Amino acid sequence: MAKRRHHTPEQVVRKLREAEVRLGQGADVLTVCKELDISEPTYYRWRNQYGGLKADDAKRLKELEKGNTTAANASVSVPAAASITSPSEPKRFFAIDAKGPSPRS
């Protein structure tokens, strides 16, 4: 199996433009993907994600996505998680009998 490559947003946009030129010349998608050394599902995923973007727009999109994931990870703080797992008030259990519920420690 081939080693997985990571393309920069600029490389993705450049390959998509090359693909559009070759498809406009009458080539089929499978041939274009082989020439660009990408798989057909990758081509369609990139086209959906980066379709009408220019290289600088694609780079900015990736930076914003990266910022969103780091902001989401930072929003979960340790004290908040600790307060969920160890409540400050003790739990109270109620015994139910014929007279109704009565607190029991």
pLDDT tens track for 65-102: 888 777 777 765 555 555 555 556 666 666 666 666 66
pLDDT of residue 102: 62
Q: What pLDDT is attached to residue 69?
A: 77
Look at residue 41 in the predicted model and tell me its pLDDT: 95
The length of the chain in residues reads 105
Buried b (16+ CB within 10 A) or exposed e, 64-85: eeeeeeeeeeeeeeeeeeeeee
| Residues 65, 57 contacting (CB under 8 angstroms) | no
